[in-house]
Structure 1
Amino acid sequence: MNRFFRDAVGGPLCPQGSVVCIGAFDGLHLGHRALVGRAVAHARALGVPAVALGFEPLPREFFARGEHPPRLMLPRAKLEGLHALGCDSVGLLRFDAKLASMPAQAFVRDVLVERLSAREVWVGPGFRFGNARGGDIALLQALGAEHGFVAHSIDPVHCSDGERVSSTRIRAALVEGDFAHAAKLLGRPYAIAGHVVHGRQLGRTLGYPTANLRYGGKAPALRGIYASWVHGVTDAPWPSVSSFGTRPTVDGIEPLLEAHLFDFEGDLYGRRIEVEFVARLRDEEKFPDLPSLVAQMHRDDAQARAILIQTQQRASA
């Protein structure tokens, strides 16, 4: 059963009971995976559905003033990832003024008890919930005793070198172009997936056709030019150079991920692909004219090819 829901209030979704894990789940890093894994294991032992409960937009996006804070993962990728980790149902609740003002006690009653019939609730370290973040694990446990469920908080997850895993640390690593560090915290290489959409086709006229992915109006955690692999074209990843940003030379506005697949011929429109970032080449910049831009694209192409060849050689050594 792969169920998806958005409403905080409504009829019961799990009348036989459930085990619920709650979090932002931005990136689905090793900490998130430990939390989900605990909930799924207990749900299987109890014979009830495992439910992952998150929010869209993210609360920090809702409360942000001005430019939205960067995020690691789009909602669809989060949904697919949570189902792949074993969650039977995923709720990405609409985080709006009504939900933001809901008292912690009402959230427990309306969502965890009436909507999900929770028997266990699992949260991460430092969990807060309810209006003005007034609820914590102690309140959740006290309310659980009243309503017939037990609440648990997992300990922070650390890497083998002792570093604590967090979405904040991953965002910082991506900004610095340290993809090996980001992968260590994520448990996998950082990548962005989506369906290829039509663009202005300027790249094609310049000799660099691209497969374009939109970022859903969200703020990406990285911007610039990158050596990359594209998955989903053939069985093997395809070498590429990717640009992620607003394309200042051509007065772009919306962040767009553009991947130029080396020596590729074919139509990818509508195909779902995944762009894996390998190395950061440079910042996005505005060029005085298109010939200057094309000259830099030639240099980016050569640099990305060299990096990806070295990456393959190290992997096969």
Structure 2
Amino acid sequence: MTSATAHLPPARILPLDAVPAEFRGGAVAIGNFDGMHRGHQALLEAARSEGSARQAPALLLTFEPHPRTVFRPDVPLFRLSTVEAKARLAAAFGLDGIVVARFDREFAKTSANDFVDDILVGRLGITAAIIGHDFQFGHDRLGSPAFLAHRGTEHGFALSVLGAVIDDHGTSFSSSRVRQSLEQGAIERANSELGYRWFVMGTVQHGDKRGRELGYPTANVRLPADCGLALGIYAVTLTRADGTTHAAVASYGRRPTFDNGAVLLEVHVFDFADTLYDEQVVVTFHSFLRGEERFASIEALIAQMDRDSDAARRILAETGPGTSLDQRLATIAPSADVAPALPIR
């Protein structure tokens, strides 16, 4: 499988303190949006619709780092999507930009009134806000949907409050459920919760070339230290900056047969002879094949790698284009270079 699609740029990434004039007056969805799962997507659709109706920018306002990492730094949080990944997803929903507020303990002291007056009105000049029914904001979380509706009337911006989006079993979609699925290697379940195939983005690094010696050269991508993905072997696709997508098999782990070192994502692209060093790529996860294990010999390892490759080829040959969101994502450039992230102050 090798395919190419014309690519559109991701949504612009804009630090809150440097939002260009053309992005003021927008319809803004507000939240953390980690994973951009099917519950979040209702807010993104609403922001796009409001922006279109008002002939205004459609934006997402989010916070980095995740507030949980600020208040509980001793408890690692498996982040599902980087800002760059959110930019890709936002573009797939037709949003124009992502406004990123630098979240720290000083920012956390912002009162609900100041959040409205200084941020929503002063810096962004919003015409509409879109929030979830359980959204709270401001110091001590005193800002509520009712409070925001009242302040919106005062300042002249509209407010849409969306209810919970539930699955077929009556349970709300959540980032926690997605994390749990990925930690268990339940890729298909995580992808169903997300509404798209989970992907990671990163730059291909030079490695020790051991894979080449085994007949399996790999593109090595180091994921964030907080990544909680189950260690093991996966059927994946790799998308290059030029838009071509290639079938591949990937190992995410510590290489216990060799050095049992730092966790690394190593992607072997099938039928591929080009180099990928220093290239920004997207790796999309389709299926979990097996857990990581230590082999008694190099020959045993290679034999298993052959079986893994055959299994991945079969799975990827049978996979379809995915959901409508997967198909829209296929049109969005994977490279952060297309819409560089500005310094977040």
Counterpart among 257, 261, 277 of residue 252 in structure 1: 261
Q: 2:235 aligned with 1:228, yes or no? A: yes
How much does 1:28 deviate? 1.8
Q: 2:162 aligned with 1:164, yes or no? A: no
What's the counterpart of residue 142 of structure 1? 150
Q: 2:276 aligned with 1:271, yes or no? A: no
How much does 1:84 deviate? 3.0
Summarize the Cα distance change of 1:102–1:151 in structure 2 as closer, same or farther, 3 Å threshold. same
Q: 2:13 aligned with 1:4, yes or no? A: yes
Write the mapping of 1:89-238 to structure 2, written as runs, cut at 5 A: 89-215=97-223, 217-232=224-239, 237-238=245-246
8 A contact 1:239–1:305 mirrored in 2? no
- Supply the distance in 1 between the matched residues of 2:24 and 2:200 (Cα, whole angstroms): 36
Summarize the Cα distance change of 1:14–1:103 in structure 2 as closer, same or farther, 3 Å threshold. farther
- Supply the distance in 2 between the matched residues of 1:65 and 1:167 (Cα, whole angstroms): 19
How much does 1:106 deviate? 1.1
Aligned-partner residue type, residue 79 of structure 2: R
Aligned-partner residue type, residue 310 of structure 2: R
How much does 1:129 deviate? 1.4
- Supply the distance in 1 between the matched residues of 2:151 and 2:277 (Cα, whole angstroms): 50
User: SS of 1:97's equivalent?
Assistant: coil
Summarize the Cα distance change of 1:10–1:208 in structure 2 as closer, same or farther, 3 Å threshold. closer
- Any idea what the Cα deviations from partners look like across 1:78-101, whole Å, max 9, x if unmatched? 122213322222112111222122
8 A contact 1:226–1:277 mirrored in 2? no
Higher relative contact order (CA 8 A, sep 6+): 2
Unaligned 5+ segments in structure 1 are: none
Moved over 4 A (4+): 9-12, 233-237, 246-249, 313-316
TM-score by length of 2: 0.79
8 A contact 1:73–1:192 mirrored in 2? yes
Counterpart among 240, 256, 277 of residue 248 in structure 2: 240
What's the counterpart of residue 336 of structure 2? none
User: SS of 1:118's equivalent?
Assistant: coil
Aligned-partner residue type, residue 261 of structure 2: G
Summarize the Cα distance change of 1:11–1:229 in structure 2 as closer, same or farther, 3 Å threshold. closer
User: SS of 1:96's equivalent?
Assistant: coil
User: SS of 2:146's equivalent?
Assistant: helix
How much does 1:12 deviate? 7.4
User: SS of 1:250's equivalent?
Assistant: coil
Counterpart among 285, 304, 327 of residue 299 in structure 1: 304
- Supply the distance in 2 between the matched residues of 1:15 and 1:261 (Cα, whole angstroms): 40
Aligned residue pairs total: 310
- Supply the distance in 2 between the matched residues of 1:51 and 1:314 (Cα, whole angstroms): 33
Summarize the Cα distance change of 1:82–1:177 in structure 2 as closer, same or farther, 3 Å threshold. same
- Any idea what the Cα deviations from partners look like across 1:134-166, whole Å, max 9, x if unmatched? 322122222222322232221111234544222
- Any idea what the Cα deviations from partners look like across 1:286-308, whole Å, max 9, x if unmatched? x4xx8646633531441342254
What's the counterpart of residue 60 of structure 1? 68
Cα RMSD over matched residues?
2.9
How much does 1:280 deviate? 2.2
8 A contact 1:54–1:93 mirrored in 2? yes
Unaligned 5+ segments in structure 2 are: 1-8, 322-345
Aligned-partner residue type, residue 29 of structure 2: C
8 A contact 1:211–1:258 mirrored in 2? yes
